[in-house]
Amino acid sequence: MNRLLLLFFLFMAIAAVPAIQKAIFKPEKRDIFWPSSWPAPVYNFKKNPPTKEGFELGRALFYDPILSRDSSISCSSCHLSFTGFAHNDHALSHGIEGRIGKRNAPALMNLIWSPVFHWDGGVLHLEQQAINPISQADEMGSSLPEVLKKLNRRPEYRKMFFRAFGDSMIRTDNFLKGLAQFTASLISCRSRYDLYTAGDSNARFSEQEKNGLLLFRKNCSSCHPEPLFTNYTFQNNLIKPDSAAPDSGRFLITGRKEDIFKFKVPALRNIALTYPYMHDGRFRNLKQVLSHYEAIGQAEKGRWSENSPYGDKEKKDILAFLLTLTDSSFLRNKTFHHPSFQK
């Protein structure tokens, strides 16, 4: 009889384990918003539905230097939340042991619309992208197996992975999905430009900004079209290769001659904060960028742009317009900042 009772309890205990796990694994759905007039995103949320637990996990990973070999560099070392996740003030990226990379760290926002990543389009999926900085010698200098091993030794991460994905064993797919829960959420769509063009009566444009928008639409939209301010193609905007061994951009991926010195057209949202500019960070401010476009407009009359080159007033107007793309609700979104800002 006693033995039967014991067997009964044993059976109940085993049966209860999955029940308890199920009770804890109940991720809370998280809504992500963007304007209904925007195109459908490229990123497939069905394969990684946004959840609160997933987002918090992704944010913890993004801000944790454990992803680098010597635990000194996190994703946020090069992508700072307060500057649109660009590396403000650094022309080229800085990785472990003070190593200098080859390119300027781009701003991170509206990534779910991007069909390609990196200045040369060498990465085709947002989730896969993270493997790159982790394993680059002059960025985080580690490897995926090494990172997974370190994370699996940390009980708090095992718990977070369980809460987000129902599996406390940390594996490649859930690790990459976890990071993407955060990076896919970085949506900037509430700048004054957005409110103004949506007809919000509280959002006003000065005459200068209105004229800047018109000039922008004439001269810049072929590559930087609204609302995402990039057409995600690779173009040569005629900045001069500036070293003996210049970065040949898209050519490195395709090997096609016509792709030499072509780079991914960057999105221009929050552009006032993401300096310095271009793939090598050569321009310190937007005035220099506009002078560049003015110079090639003159040199390449008709070929570069349909329109006549513009002068000082026009440059000032375009600049005023570009400043309306600053989205303080995105930049000041507390939930995107370092976990220590959450409390």
Residues engaged in binding ligand HEC (CB under 6 A): 62, 67, 73, 75, 77-79, 93-95, 101, 103, 105-106, 108, 111, 114, 117-120, 129-130, 133-134, 139-140, 179, 183, 219-220, 222-224, 235, 237, 239, 263, 265-266, 268, 271, 274, 277-279, 289, 293, 318
Nearest distance in Å: CB 201, ligand HEC = 28
Q: Closest approach of Cβ 40 to ligand HEC, in Å? A: 18
Comparison of 25 and 197: residue with beta carbon closer to ligand HEC: 197
Smallest distance, Å, CB 290 to ligand HEC? 6
Integer Cα distance of 138 and 165 in angstroms: 31
Burial of residue 158 (CB within 10 Å: 0-12, 13-18, 19+) is: middle
- Burial class from Cβ neighbours inside 10 Å (0-12, 13-18, 19+) for residue 214 reads middle
Neighbour tally for 241: CB within 10 Å: 13
For ligand HEC, the closer CB: 25 or 135: 135
Task: Tell me the two tokens of residue 242.
Answer: 């500036």
Answer for the pair 188, 84: CB distance below 8 angstroms, yes or no. Answer: yes
How many CB atoms within 10 Å of residue 193?
Answer: 23
Count the neighbouring beta carbons within 10 Å of the beta carbon of residue 228.
Answer: 19
What distance in Å separates the CA atoms of residue 183 and residue 172, rounded to the nearest whole number? 17
Q: Which two tokens stand for residue 48?
A: 């990684």
Q: How far is the CB of 163 from ligand HEC (least distance, A)?
A: 21
List, in order, residues 6 or more apart from 195 with CB less than 8 Å away: 202, 203
**By C-beta, is 25 or 94 nearer to ligand HEC?**
94
**Cα separation of 339 and 330, whole Å?**
16
User: CA–CA separation, 215 vs 207, rounded Å?
Assistant: 12
Nearer to ligand HEC, 8 or 45 (CB): 45
Is there a contact between 166 and 24 (Cβ–Cβ < 8 Å)?
no
Number of C-beta neighbours around residue 170 at 10 A: 22
Q: By C-beta, is 130 or 187 nearer to ligand HEC?
A: 130
Give the nearest distance from C-beta 9 to ligand HEC in angstroms. Answer: 47
Nearest to 229 by CA among 186, 190, 266, 203: 266
Output 29 or 240, the one with its CB closest to ligand HEC. 240
HSE value, Cβ hemisphere, 13 Å, CA-based, for 339: 11
Residue 11 Cβ, how far from ligand HEC at the closest point, in Å?
A: 45
In the complex, least distance from residue 21 CB atom to ligand HEC, rounded to whole angstroms: 29
For ligand HEC, which is the closer residue by CB, 73 or 187?
73
Least distance from ligand HEC to the Cβ atom of residue 26, Å = 27
> CB-wise, 79 or 192, nearer to ligand HEC?
79
